[in-house]
């Protein structure tokens, strides 16, 4: 294997691993590895991409923020992107960040362990509230937020901007959370495991009356869209000055932030609250440090997912001892076999832990744990379960070593490396392994792919793993668009936990079984009828979504959009050579190889042909192939274009597709390479950056004119 092949292989592994952990955290409220391990993976990925940009694929996590919005709520597009924060975990890392970032002063504030929220006020009136979502589109939780007493419906004072986005954190106070659980227990209901998940669940109630009965609170920590922050006609120059203004409007701001001048004072603030973290009125998992000067913030700018002028210092996690009951194997969408630990349930950092990932057999060996051991468990960042190692002194001789199985626990097929030297083992039965098929079907139904609302995780289980002796309606994705009501009605299935893949239990401790697609009287349930309607609607989804739905390794939405815009049909994509594929913006060598390898497999080709026969649209209407889309002849060929602010004629997705389909790159940040910026109302920092760099700024009317010309 050449050096480049080794790098390509490692890059693919990193993309897969980081994306898996992101999906688990943002979409499933599940945490699989420690913050430190996650950050190490991201750092290695970023280093590879900086040294070898030709490796970058469209599904790289460096191109996106967070996860997708929950399909139970209407989507809301943020005027300004909601970013994540980079993390540090030690004094040395904190001091190094300060040294390369600013001479101060710095604003230090507590990092509340809650749910990020974006409030949009127009002329001082609250008009919408949305969760972070993927940073661009969140969930509309306006009606539920209106029940939170600390959030004003109308801002106090005068001189409010026409539109402003307020960012903050929604949470439970420690005492309020305890009282809430006491009430649930008194009513015979199960208590919540931890304040963060309960805050998230309370805000996502379909009935606002339920949210109103929960003592949720909010603290503000910043703003989004608002191009020129002023107070009494004077510009706001600092983050702390911004907090004072927001407080004067009646918004809830923290009294515990401090503005300090030096690195030593920053560390003093961090250490002081770490010692007293459990005496506070709410849970925290660290401290956020920001450059106080707004102009300096603007100069420092952003990476693809985080501001350079702010950092989160994560406190050392709590640790507990518990029993390692078993080590089992989970099979993912790509067949990767991942050992995970089953532990005696234990409460740590405010939540109950039952499972923890062990990554692969080498990690199990390195940690030195035996099944039956008393182990040290921590929640890194007070969120993520991680096994540190065994308490050897407590061994009694009954413990046993873990042996990595040679066969898939789901289908019995052989587990083997994908290539020579690969640490990870994969199930070789990609076509019909129930676990792989289940994960692929659930994935293609998700909002970011075909957006089939009735095809959630439980439905995916029912369709691929019904109870014996029933035959699964789906033996592969090829069957999806041929489903009929007759296929659905007989199906009974166990309800599986999406995190562990284990059966959920009923009140008596037995596996929970459901007639998923029919009512007790035998008539079709609404979910069955809705699924068939959703599938019919999905047949005309854009080509790029169909490409992502095929679960081809490395093919994410960004690359899929570019491929669809360039070639215009699935047939032309699969007929293209590796060289032709690699020429498309956002594709590259690895992804091109993956596409060519995928279509050589018989059952993969069967999926495409069966979908075509079922009436699925596998081309872009009116597209004439390379040369009519994102080719060298496209109107925006080779141009990097940024859209910002509130647009009236386009949604975010529509303007990105308009740019890509005309040969351009829809960039997320402004740089010297940006050709021009399309700015809507209330454009914020991106507009300011463009003006600072002297980059052309146009409105959407001019953009439309250029499209029509």
pLDDT tens digits along 250-269 = 999 998 999 999 999 999 99
CA distances from 602 to 416, 431, 544 (A): 21, 10, 22
Note the Cα 138 to chain centre separation in Å.
11
Phi, psi of 621 (to 5 degrees): -55, 135
Lowest model confidence (mean pLDDT) among 1-15, 480-494, 557-571, 593-607: 1-15
* Domain at 318-427: CATH code: 2.40.50.140
589-626 confidence digits (pLDDT tens): 889 999 999 999 999 999 999 999 999 999 988 787 77
User: CB 601: neighbour CB atoms within 10 A?
Assistant: 12
Distance CA 650, CA 330 (A): 42
User: CB 622: neighbour CB atoms within 10 A?
Assistant: 7
Radius of gyration of the chain (CA): 26
Residue pair 657/542 in contact by the 8 Å Cβ criterion: yes
Lowest model confidence (mean pLDDT) among 71-80, 105-114, 286-295, 499-508: 499-508
Tokens representing residue 463 in the block: 């369709």
Residue 151: pLDDT band (50, 70, 90) is very high
- % residues pLDDT > 90 (the chain): 39
Phi, psi of 689 (to 5 degrees): -65, -40
Catalytic hit among 111, 379, 431, 689: 111
Residue pair 96/311 in contact by the 8 Å Cβ criterion: no
Please say whether the structural domain 80-314 has been given the CATH code 3.50.50.60. Answer: no
Half-sphere exposure of 477 (CA within 13 A, CB side): 32
Residue 29: pLDDT band (50, 70, 90) is very low
357 pLDDT higher than 90: no
Residue pair 605/653 in contact by the 8 Å Cβ criterion: no
Residue 579: pLDDT band (50, 70, 90) is very high
Q: What is the pLDDT of residue 326?
A: 95
Classify the C-alpha dihedral 457-459-463-468 as positive or negative.
positive
Residue pair 501/330 in contact by the 8 Å Cβ criterion: yes
Residue pair 637/663 in contact by the 8 Å Cβ criterion: yes
Q: What is the pLDDT of residue 384?
A: 67
153-177 confidence digits (pLDDT tens): 999 988 888 899 999 999 988 888 8
Q: What is the pLDDT of residue 207?
A: 81
Lowest model confidence (mean pLDDT) among 9-18, 57-66, 530-539: 57-66
Q: What is the pLDDT of residue 502?
A: 65
CA distances from 615 to 413, 449, 544 (A): 33, 18, 16
69 pLDDT higher than 50: no
515 pLDDT higher than 70: yes
Mean pLDDT, residues 504-510? 72
Distance CA 287, CA 277 (A): 11
Q: What is the pLDDT of residue 386?
A: 83
654-709 confidence digits (pLDDT tens): 787 788 767 787 777 788 889 999 998 777 778 888 888 999 999 988 998 888 87
What stretch(es) of the chain map to CATH 3.40.50.10190?
640-708
Classify the C-alpha dihedral 485-489-491-497 as positive or negative.
positive
Q: Is the peptide bond before 469 cis (omega within 30 degrees of 0)?
A: yes
Classify the C-alpha dihedral 296-297-298-303 as positive or negative.
positive
51 pLDDT higher than 80: no
Number of H helices, E strands in the chain: 24, 26
Cα–Cα nearest to 35, from 314, 440, 231: 314
Residue 42: pLDDT band (50, 70, 90) is confident
In terms of DSSP bridges, do strands 310-314 and 87-88 run parallel, antiparallel, or are they unpaired? Answer: parallel
Residue pair 641/674 in contact by the 8 Å Cβ criterion: yes
Lowest model confidence (mean pLDDT) among 336-350, 393-407, 421-435, 485-499: 485-499
Q: What is the pLDDT of residue 624?
A: 74
Residue 287: pLDDT band (50, 70, 90) is very high
Distance CA 384, CA 532 (A): 38
Residue 705: CB partners within 8 Å, gap ≥ 6?
Answer: none
Residue 629: pLDDT band (50, 70, 90) is very low
Residue pair 252/219 in contact by the 8 Å Cβ criterion: yes
Residue pair 371/342 in contact by the 8 Å Cβ criterion: no
Note the Cα 578 to chain centre separation in Å.
30
Residue 71: pLDDT band (50, 70, 90) is very low
CA distances from 130 to 70, 82, 140, 453, 530 (A): 11, 11, 5, 20, 26
- Helical ranges in 405-451 per DSSP H: 434-444
Based on the residue annotation, tell me whether 689 is a catalytic residue of this protein. Answer: no
Residue pair 269/108 in contact by the 8 Å Cβ criterion: yes
Helix 588-599, helix 602-613: angle, nearest 10: 80
Which is higher by pLDDT, 134 or 610? 610
Residue pair 287/109 in contact by the 8 Å Cβ criterion: yes
212 pLDDT higher than 90: no
Mean pLDDT, residues 15-39? 62
3-state secondary structure of 363: helix
Q: What is the pLDDT of residue 235?
A: 84
Mean pLDDT, residues 506-523? 79
Q: What is the pLDDT of residue 296?
A: 93
> 357: which strand partners?
340
Mean pLDDT, residues 423-429? 91
Helix 434-444, helix 457-464: angle, nearest 10: 140
Give the N- to C-terminal CA distance of the chain in Å, as an integer.
Answer: 50
Fold type of domain 543-613: DNA polymerase; domain 1 (1.10.150)
Residue 12: pLDDT band (50, 70, 90) is confident
What stretch(es) of the chain map to CATH 1.10.287.610?
1-63
Phi, psi of 513 (to 5 degrees): -120, 135
Which is higher by pLDDT, 381 or 481? 481
Residue 442: pLDDT band (50, 70, 90) is very high
Residue 374: CB partners within 8 Å, gap ≥ 6?
Answer: 321, 322, 323, 324, 390, 391, 394, 395
Residue pair 406/415 in contact by the 8 Å Cβ criterion: yes
28 pLDDT higher than 90: no
Residue pair 136/652 in contact by the 8 Å Cβ criterion: yes
Q: What is the pLDDT of residue 16?
A: 79
Distance CA 577, CA 554 (A): 17
3-state secondary structure of 327: strand
Q: What is the pLDDT of residue 461?
A: 87
Q: What is the pLDDT of residue 203?
A: 83
The CATH homologous superfamily for domain 640-708 is: BRCT domain (3.40.50.10190)
Query: What mean pLDDT, rounded, does the chain reach?
Result: 84
What stretch(es) of the chain map to CATH 3.30.470.30?
80-314
CA distances from 177 to 132, 193, 353 (A): 23, 10, 19
346 pLDDT higher than 80: yes
Fold type of domain 1-63: Helix Hairpins (1.10.287)
75-130 confidence digits (pLDDT tens): 888 988 888 888 888 899 999 999 999 998 999 999 988 889 999 999 899 999 99
Residue 23 DSSP code:
H
The dihedral formed by the CA atoms of 687, 692, 694 and 698, expressed in degrees to the nearest 10: 10
Mean pLDDT, residues 138-149? 89
Q: What is the pLDDT of residue 630?
A: 43
3-state secondary structure of 589: helix
298 pLDDT higher than 60: yes
Q: What is the pLDDT of residue 647?
A: 81
Distance CA 103, CA 709 (A): 50
Phi, psi of 468 (to 5 degrees): -65, 145
Residue 41: pLDDT band (50, 70, 90) is confident
Q: What is the pLDDT of residue 70?
A: 45
Residue pair 430/436 in contact by the 8 Å Cβ criterion: yes
Cα–Cα nearest to 237, from 311, 317, 295, 306: 295
Residue pair 94/108 in contact by the 8 Å Cβ criterion: no
3-state secondary structure string across 468-521: CCCCCCCCCHHHHHHCCHHHHCCCEEECECCCCCCECECCCCCECEEECCECCC
Distance CA 470, CA 374 (A): 42
Distance CA 687, CA 644 (A): 7
Residue 211: pLDDT band (50, 70, 90) is confident
User: CB 43: neighbour CB atoms within 10 A?
Assistant: 10
H or E segment to which residue 494 belongs:
strand 492-494
């Amino acid at each position: 294997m050449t050096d480049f092949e080794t790098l390509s292989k490692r890059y693919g592994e990193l993309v897969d691993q980081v994306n898996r952990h992101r999906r688990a955290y943002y979409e499933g409220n599940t945490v699989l590895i420690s913050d430190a391990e996650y950050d190490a993976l991201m750092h290695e990925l970023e280093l590879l991409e900086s040294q070898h940009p030709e490796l970058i694929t469209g599904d790289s996590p460096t191109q996106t923020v967070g996860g997708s919005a929950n399909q139970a709520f209407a989507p809301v597009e943020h005027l300004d992107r909601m970013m994540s924060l980079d993390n540090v975990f030690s004094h040395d890392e904190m001091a190094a960040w300060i040294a390369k970032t600013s001479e101060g002063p710095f604003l230090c504030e507590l990092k509340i362990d809650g749910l990020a929220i974006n409030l949009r006020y127009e002329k001082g009136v609250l008009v919408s509230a949305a969760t972070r979502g993927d940073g661009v589109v969140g969930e509309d939780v306006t009606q539920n937020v209106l029940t939170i007493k600390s959030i004003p419906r109308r801002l106090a004072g005068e001189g409010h901007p026409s539109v402003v986005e307020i960012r903050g954190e929604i949470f439970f106070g420690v005492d309020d959370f305890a009282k809430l659980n006491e009430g649930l227990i008194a009513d015979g209901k199960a208590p919540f495991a931890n304040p963060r998940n309960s805050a998230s669940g309370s805000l996502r109630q379909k009935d606002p009356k339920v949210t109103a009965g929960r003592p949720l609170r909010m603290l503000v920590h910043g703003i989004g869209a608002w191009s020129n922050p002023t107070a009494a006609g004077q510009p706001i120059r600092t983050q702390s000055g911004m907090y004072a203004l927001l407080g004067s409007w009646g918004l809830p701001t923290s009294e515990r932030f401090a503005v300090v001048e030096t690195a030593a004072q920053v560390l003093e603030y961090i250490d002081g609250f770490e010692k007293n973290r459990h005496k506070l009125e709410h849970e925290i998992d660290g401290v956020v440090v920001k450059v106080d000067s707004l102009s300096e913030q603007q100069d420092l700018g952003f990476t693809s997912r985080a501001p350079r002028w702010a950092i989160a210092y994560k406190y050392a996690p709590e640790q507990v001892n518990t029993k390692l009951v078993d080590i089992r194997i989970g099979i993912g969408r790509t067949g990767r076999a991942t050992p995970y630990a089953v532990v005696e349930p234990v409460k740590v950092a405010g939540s109950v832990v039952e499972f923890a990932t062990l990554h692969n057999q080498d990690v199990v060996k390195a940690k030195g744990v035996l099944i039956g051991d008393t182990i040290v468990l921590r929640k890194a960042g007070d969120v993520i379960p991680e096994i540190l190692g065994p308490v050897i002194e407590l061994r009694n001789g009954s413990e046993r070593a873990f042996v990595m199985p040679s066969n898939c626990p789901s289908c019995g097929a052989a587990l083997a490396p994908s290539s020579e030297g690969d640490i990870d083992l994969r199930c070789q039965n990609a076509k019909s392994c129930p676990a792989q098929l289940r994960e692929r079907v659930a994935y293609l139904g998700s909002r970011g792919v075909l957006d089939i609302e009735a095809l959630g995780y439980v439905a995916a289980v029912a369709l691929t793993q019904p109870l014996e002796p029933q035959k699964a309606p789906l033996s592969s994705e090829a069957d999806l668009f041929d489903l009929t009501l007759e296929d659905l009605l007989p199906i009974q299935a166990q309800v599986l936990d999406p995190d562990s893949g284990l059966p959920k239990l009923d009140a008596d401790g037995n596996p929970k079984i459901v007639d998923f697609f029919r009512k007790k009287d035998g008539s079709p349930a609404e979910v069955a009828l809705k699924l068939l309607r959703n599938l019919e609607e999905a047949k005309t989804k854009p080509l790029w979504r169909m490409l992502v739905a095929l679960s081809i390794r490395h093919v994410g939405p960004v690359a899929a959009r570019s491929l669809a815009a360039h070639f215009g049909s699935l047939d032309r994509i699969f007929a293209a050579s590796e060289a032709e594929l690699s020429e498309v913006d956002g594709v590259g060598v690895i992804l091109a190889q993956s596409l060519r390898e995928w279509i050589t497999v018989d059952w993969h080709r069967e999926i495409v042909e069966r979908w075509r026969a079922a009436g699925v649209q596998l081309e872009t209407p009116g597209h004439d192939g390379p040369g009519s889309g994102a080719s060298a002849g496209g109107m925006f060929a080779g141009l990097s274009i940024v859209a910002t602010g509130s647009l009236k004629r386009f949604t975010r997705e529509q303007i990105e597709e308009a740019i890509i389909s005309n040969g351009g790159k829809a960039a997320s940040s402004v740089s010297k390479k940006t050709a021009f910026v399309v700015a809507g109302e209330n454009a914020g920092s991106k507009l300011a950056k463009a003006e600072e760099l002297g980059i052309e700024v146009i409105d959407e009317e001019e953009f439309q004119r250029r499209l029509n010309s």
